[in-house]
Amino acid sequence: MFISNREKPTFVDFDENALATTFYTSGTTGLPKQVCFSHRQLVLHTLALGAALGGRKGLGLRAGDVYMPLTPMFHVHAWGMPYLATMLGLRQIYPGRYEVDAILRWREAEGVTFSHGVPTVLQMVLGGAERLGIRLDGWQMLLGGSALTRDLADAARATGMTIAAGYGMSETGPVISIGEESADPYSTIRSGKPIPLVSAAIVDEEMKALPCDDAASGELVVRAPWLTPCYPGDEPASRDLWRGGWLHTQDIASIDEAGSIQIRDRLKDVIKSGGEWISSLMLEELIIRHPDVAEVAVVGVSDAKWQERPVAIVVATRDGVPTHEAINALLARFVEEGAISRFALLDDVMLVDALPRTGVGKIDKKLLRQALEAKSKPCSRNA
């Protein structure tokens, strides 16, 4: 739109390093912490994200797309996507409350081509589409916040959707990496390759770099010009966040030879049992393959002999109720194949009607762990 000199608004210049936003982390594993970002950081993140999504195969955000976010606007700049959509001049649809029928109506009426959200939202959308008997061809969705399983990815692709996983956190403003297409049909559900201007590495407890062979696992550390510089008002946590000159994500990851990151678990969610480190995310990915399991979260509970032991909190499907024995029988197959340790077999399975979630849709493992340690059964069908 052309604006004449007479109509042009007065714009007061300011320092690009001036504070632009502050908000709190979601606190799924600990207490929420405040983070902050400057105007310059938001611009650099937007430009890097645009370069990443505009120059790749498969899922991308480009001129002509119709954008509809399915993440809360208050959480991590809505993943920075509204800034990018505005920069590209895209038509934008904001659906309000996340009611699946309304989302599907908006998608159809407005020709939505790009959305982003957590896997729970994707699962909700797929359930609504199945109930209404509609396909979702031409709809792209970027997934983050928790692991994207192969089964959920397959279900989305079967409806005609294009999906990819991404990785980031409140402290990173948020996008660090996005899954890319390759010969492996599941490469897009990995945490992905770093977007422009991001450096990533995996390190041990002494900050020694580990090999990028997709086998070694260590804490993911990152650098980029838009990462939060500190936790305002918390100097000890800020020093720990930037120990050694890298931002410590507290996520355990591996990196392959092509530079693709795969998050293996949260540092606080890794279960230490009998000298073994057990990935709760790996167990969840295997347990969800049981036909009677609709949703699952695995946490470690204290054990006098083994330090910690894994317990699965399960939401059953409408067609069946999985037993502790049946799930362990499934896991035993993967023990025999060498995919997991025998220490990963579950000590218990708790059936619940619903898993507790944070305001942004993540499973709240902190609450689950507290409930289990207190020997309670929240929402349990067995209670």
**CA 5 to chain CA centroid, nearest Å:** 46
pLDDT of residue 48: 98
SS3 category, 347: coil
pLDDT of residue 379: 40
DSSP 45-82: HHHHHHHHHHSSSSS---TT-EE---S-TTSGGGGGHH
1: pLDDT strictly greater than 60: no
257: pLDDT strictly greater than 50: yes
261-266 vs 247-255, strand pairing mode: antiparallel
Active-site annotation holds for 277: yes
271-373 has which fold? Answer: GMP Synthetase; Chain A, domain 3 (3.30.300)
pLDDT band at residue 378 under the 50/70/90 scheme? very low
28: pLDDT strictly greater than 60: no
272: pLDDT strictly greater than 90: no
pTM equals 0.80
pLDDT of residue 169: 95
Q: Across all residues in the chain, what is the average pLDDT?
A: 91
User: Can you tell me the mean pLDDT for 238-259?
Assistant: 96
Strand partners, 314: 296, 351
pLDDT of residue 231: 95
300 by Cβ neighbours in 10 Å (0-12 / 13-18 / 19+) ranks as buried
pLDDT digits (tens, 9 = 90+) for 44-59: 999 999 999 998 888 9
pLDDT of residue 277: 83
Closest to 355 measured CA to CA, from 281, 283, 296: 296
pLDDT of residue 373: 79
Catalytic residue, candidates 21, 242, 268, 277: 277
**Percent of all residues in the chain with a pLDDT value above 90, rounded to a whole number:** 71
Class of domain 19-266: alpha beta
Catalytic residue, candidates 21, 110, 272, 306: 272
User: Can you tell me the mean pLDDT for 257-277?
Assistant: 88
pLDDT of residue 78: 95
Q: Which two tokens stand for residue 89?
A: 């001049």
CA distances in angstroms from 16 to 45, 197, 223, listed in the order given: 14, 18, 20
pLDDT digits (tens, 9 = 90+) for 130-148: 999 999 999 999 999 888 9
pLDDT of residue 74: 87
The domain segmentation of the chain, as residue ranges, is 19-266, 271-373
Beta-carbon neighbour count of residue 47 at 10 Å?
16
pLDDT of residue 30: 60
pLDDT band at residue 6 under the 50/70/90 scheme? low
**Percent of all residues in the chain with a pLDDT value above 70, rounded to a whole number:** 95
pLDDT: is 11 or 342 the higher one? 342
Catalytic residue, candidates 120, 171, 193, 308: 171
pLDDT of residue 29: 55
382: pLDDT strictly greater than 50: no
pLDDT digits (tens, 9 = 90+) for 144-200: 988 898 989 999 999 999 999 999 999 999 999 999 998 898 999 999 999 999 999
> What are the two backbone dihedrals, phi and then psi, of residue 228, each rounded to the nearest 5 degrees?
-60, 135
pLDDT of residue 168: 96
376: pLDDT strictly greater than 50: no
pLDDT digits (tens, 9 = 90+) for 296-352: 999 998 888 888 899 999 999 988 889 999 999 999 999 999 889 899 999 999 999
Distance CA 125, CA 114 (A): 14
CB 259 within 8 A of CB 193: yes
Closest to 126 measured CA to CA, from 99, 96, 100, 105: 100
pLDDT band at residue 245 under the 50/70/90 scheme? very high
